[in-house]
Every structure is written in structure tokens, then in C-alpha cells.
Amino acid sequence: MTHLKITGMTCDSCAAHVKEALEKVPGVQSAIVSYAKGAAQLALDPGTAPDALTAAVAGLGYKAMLADAPPTDNRTGLFDKVRGWMGAADKGSGGERPLQVAVIGSGGAAMAAALKAVEQGAQVTLIERGTIGGTCVNVGCVPSKIMIRAAHIAHLRRESPFDVGLTATPPVVSRDRLLVQQQARVDELRIAKYESILESNPSINLVRGSARFKDGHTLIVEAAEGDWYEVAFDRCLIATGASAAIPPLPGLAETPYWTSTEALVSETIPKRLAVIGASVVALELAQAFARLGSEVTILARRTLFASEDPAIGEAVTAAFRAEGITVLTQTQASAVTYSDRQFILTTPQGELRADQLFVATGRAPNTTSLDLERAGVALDSQHRIVIDKGMRTSAPNIYAAGDCTDQPQYVYVAAAAGTRAGINMTGGDATLDLDAMPAVVFTDPQVATVGYSEAEAQRIGLQTDSRTLTLDNVPRALANFDTRGFIKLVAEAGSGRILGVQAVTPEAGEIIQTAAIAIRARMTVQDLANQLFTYLTMVEGLKLVAQTFSKDVTQLSCCAG
């Protein structure tokens, strides 16, 4: 048997794609690929070129190197190392044994919790089975926003509101070079914000391997080499994140489809890209690929952003179609095949053919391999860990935070939850209030929300009064010659207390934090209307929409207070 060490995989779907690629290499009889172990085991014909194996893996954006066969038994050394950590912990200040905290994961929630627990005097064992840093820095927020920004620049060079006086120059897109730039910044941030911090903190012991619960106070950790050992804890935080949820679409599993992980590291821009999905990840990357040169078709089971205020989906649909993106609403593929290097999707409108298929239908929590039932940790119907506002699970002394829980899947929520979990695991009583949680989607125009939509407020029995301001009433938008979108403010009828804001505007993410602070401060629309806002800024639109509750803003002069 031949063994490969593989780095860069972030989920079981990655492993499935690597397996498929390896088994296509001439001479490969079979391949077993483990995401958890970061390794592949291959049965090969004599003379099979090793370079072909590593090249097949590299073609998917991962790194591979030949490895010797795993040792049959090296447990004694690992047990000695763990005992050494525990012995060092016994020599804490004042002779007291520091609190032993185990953290499963190394993303935003895990790191925040580990650092806070150490700050409070705990000794932390942090267990990671894959790449340090979790989703956001490696395969999520950071690389996607870099790609989106590059696509935005390409779009402006090709077309802008100022083409009347600035000659448009369609760019030549070198995706391979953009990818090198993107991944270099990803590596830089991972090293600076995760790896270097772990290496420099003597109170955090990093363990490589997959963890599962033996009971409510013990973890079993299996290392990539096949070794395993036990880690005892006083407190434990589960912060294992989530992976792409794959729909049960007939034929899909037999095709080389993309999730966001593969899409972000692709060295090529497909000529025709089909996208299944109609929310954040699907739409951000669909527009980015379109602006970098793909002919994009989006299949939305209902509408774009179906769970939000309907006006949001309508505005984004109009913006996408204006850019040449095909948006098929109320459309669901019933089957997919892959033949002659093209995908064939069966839809109610007929066959849809594409050179690549990108599936982004949500994310599922990474909880199935943890043996949570052994520790008494309860899950909801979607296999998410149920927690209270203090990040406590149903099991004593076990906490959870981030995308593996029933919290909103945003890295800043995960980090905030991790910090509070770190406080609570070490004797505190911190809670996380998400009533004024801002959210941003990095399409163009951006989508930003905070608080209640009108329908959500009415659903819980609140009487509402709302106003919507189109951007042709915002001076900054007029000066930009870009009046796509709107700002909507939802208030409580009678009191005027601000309940929520929804915005579809360029740079809406720079607007929404002001709205979040206003909601947190329990401001009224009149309070907001009376504030000083700088001119010309997009955030001035918040003041203007607040003024519409009592005035006709079309009859006001510029900067009218």
C-alpha cells in the first residue's frame, strides 16, 4: 500500500473529491481518503508514478506528499506526552492544579474560548483534526471576500457609471495569479492570527487528531497516524464548525460538483457555471464568477433570499439580471448527470448544461463523529448542539459555540460566543444577546440587516410602522450615479422605537452597524432623525429614512437637519 499525507482538506466532501481524483490516475486500483486523518491509502499497479498522485491532489487545491506507512503502535510516547502536560498542570501557582479545559476545534469560537480560559488561569488542550484556523480564515470569509473584491474591480474596469468620461477597458483575468495572491493572504492571516498565537502560548497544548467523547469527562483522540489516547477535562468546549450540506439530488454524488471550498481554490473560471442555491454563499460567489467571466445561471427553489423581506430578493434579482446573470426562481433540479465534461441538470424548464456546477444549499454542523450521546449532549432535529445564552449544553461542564450549534452561522457570533464560553467555563456567568445582531451579504449591492423585519415583528405580536427610502433620495448615491436599492426602517407603532433595518445598497455593511447601535440603545425614529450624520455618506440614508416618518424628504434641501 502507498500512503499520502494531504493538507488543506476541510470536510468529508473534500475527501470524497480527492478520492475521485486519485482513482482517475492511471495505475490506481483503489483509494481510501480520510479527512479526519489528513491521509490517503492507495492500492497501486507496479510502476505508478508518485508525481501523478500528488499532481492529482494539487489540481484540487490541496497539498500531498508521500508518507511512510503509519506506525503500528506509538501510543506509549503519546501517553507520556499527555501525562507530562497533566504533570505540568499540577504545578500551578500556589500548588493548586489549574482547571483543565479541552477545546475541540481551532476556528474563531475555539480560539476565542481558549485564549479567554487561559487568561482566567486554565490549562487548555486544543484538538484539531484538519487545518488550523477553521472555516473563516481558510475556506470562508477571507478567501471569498478577496475573490469578491477582485471581481468587483474587474467589473468596474469593464463597466461603471462613469463610462461617459472614463474609457472602459475590459481586463484580462489571470485567475491562477489571483489565486496565488488570495492564498498568500490566507496563509499570512492563518499564521499570524492562529498558528503563531498557539505556538507562543505555553498554556495551550495543540493536539492533532479527531476527538470523540468517551464520557462526560473524557475525550478519545485519534491521531492521523492511527495512534489514540485519552484526554481528561474539567470543562470542554465543542467548536467543530460546519461543512457544506449536500442536497439529495439524484446523480449529484457521481459528479465532480463544487462546494464553496472547491470554488474558492479553482485555478480556472468556467465558461458556463450553474449554481444551486439562493442565499449568502451561493449569491456572493455566483456574482464573483460572473464578473470574472463566467456565464452564470442560478437555480432558486423559491426566490433569492426567500427567508428575508421580499423586497431584498427582488432588488438583488434585478441587480443580477442587469449584469447578465440568469436567475431562475421557483426552479429546482430533479436530477443531474455528468458527461463529456459537462453537467446536465434536469429542470422544469428543460435541460440546463454547464461546464461546472456549484452547490451552496446551506451548511450542516460537524457533530456526527463526536459520540455526543456518550456525554449526554443534546442535539436538535438538524443535528445542531442545543445551547443556552451562556453556551452551556445539556451536559454538565460541556459547552459549545459557533456553527456546530443552533446559533447564527457568522464568525463574529462564534468568536463572541467562544469568549463568553471561556468566561463561563472558568467560573463566570456571561451571556450572548443576539437581539441586535447585524448581518451582511457581500453581493453588489450589498445586503445588510439587523433586528426584526416587518413580518418577524408582527409574528411575535408587535404592531409596526415602517418606511422605505429608495436610493435616489440619498445624496451620496446620486453623487455616485448608483441608485440601486433601498433602506427600510421598521419601528414599533406608537412608541417609534426602532425594531429593525434592512438595506440593499452599495456598502450596506458600512451602514448597518450604526443601525445596530441605535437598536441596542432603544432609540426611536425621532432620536435617529435628530442625529448629526456627515454629508455625503451612505449612512446618512439612515437619518433620511427616519425623517420620512414625519417629513417629505423630497422637499428638504441638502443636509437638512
Residue 11 annotated in active site: yes
Catalytic residue among 9, 391, 425, 437: 9
Rounded alpha-carbon distances, angstroms, from residue 493 to 199, 288, 422, 466: 54, 40, 40, 9
Residue 62 annotated in active site: yes
Catalytic residue among 65, 257, 538, 559: 559
Q: Measuring CA to CA, which residue among 272, 254, 250 is closest to residue 346?
A: 250
Catalytic residue among 14, 404, 437, 538: 14
Which DSSP state fits 483? -
Beta strands in 303-445 (DSSP E): 326-328, 335-339, 342-347, 350-354, 356-359, 363-365, 398-400, 439-441
d(C-alpha 377, C-alpha 226), whole Å: 26
Catalytic residue among 410, 523, 535, 558: 558
Catalytic residue among 86, 141, 338, 412: 141
- Asked if residue 101 lies in contact with residue 427, where contact means CB atoms within 8 angstroms, the answer is no
Radius of gyration of the chain from its Cα atoms, rounded to whole angstroms? 26
Which DSSP state fits 495? T
Catalytic residue among 11, 111, 437, 523: 11
Q: Which cell goes with 311?
A: 423586497
Residue 404 annotated in active site: no
d(C-alpha 23, C-alpha 25), whole Å: 5
The two beta strands, 272-276 and 356-359, are parallel
Q: Measuring CA to CA, which residue among 514, 507, 450, 447 is closest to residue 284?
A: 447
Catalytic residue among 35, 62, 257, 399: 62
Q: Measuring CA to CA, which residue among 361, 246, 253 is closest to residue 302?
A: 361
Catalytic residue among 136, 147, 404, 437: 136
Contacts (Cβ under 8 Å, ≥6 apart) of 238: 104, 105, 367, 370, 372, 377, 385, 393, 398, 399, 400, 401, 404
Residues with active-site annotation? 9, 11, 14, 62, 136, 141, 558-559
